[in-house]
């Protein structure tokens, strides 16, 4: 249950803490659009990580 609450609260917190008057960051006011861009950014971060899952089992 706690994991699910953290999973929901993190995107909401990022939505509420967007830089409002920053010309270098774009603001997303619509919550559904923000959720879509958040999922895309999260997927890109996950794909950039270099994790060797097999290295844990070869020791």
Tally the C-alpha atoms within 13 A of residue 28's C-alpha that lie toward its C-beta: 13
What is the pTM assigned to this prediction? Answer: 0.63
CA dist., res. 36 & res. 42, Å (int): 10
Query: Is 22 in contact with 14 (CB distance < 8 Å)?
Result: no
Query: Is 16 in contact with 29 (CB distance < 8 Å)?
Result: no
CA dist., res. 40 & res. 27, Å (int): 16
pLDDT per residue as tens, the chain (59 positions): 666 666 777 888 888 888 888 888 788 889 899 999 999 998 998 888 876 665 555 55
Domain ranges of the chain: 1-56
Q: What does the CA dihedral 22, 34, 5, 46 come to, rounded to 10 degrees?
A: -90
What is the structure's pLDDT at 21?
Answer: 84
What is the structure's pLDDT at 11?
Answer: 84
């Amino acid at each position: 249950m706690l994991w699910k609450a953290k999973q929901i609260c993190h995107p909401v917190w990022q939505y509420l803490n967007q830089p409002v008057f920053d010309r270098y960051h774009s603001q997303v006011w619509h919550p559904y659009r923000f959720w879509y861009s958040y999922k895309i950014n999260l997927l890109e971060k996950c794909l950039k990580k270099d994790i060797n899952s097999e290295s844990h089992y070869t020791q």
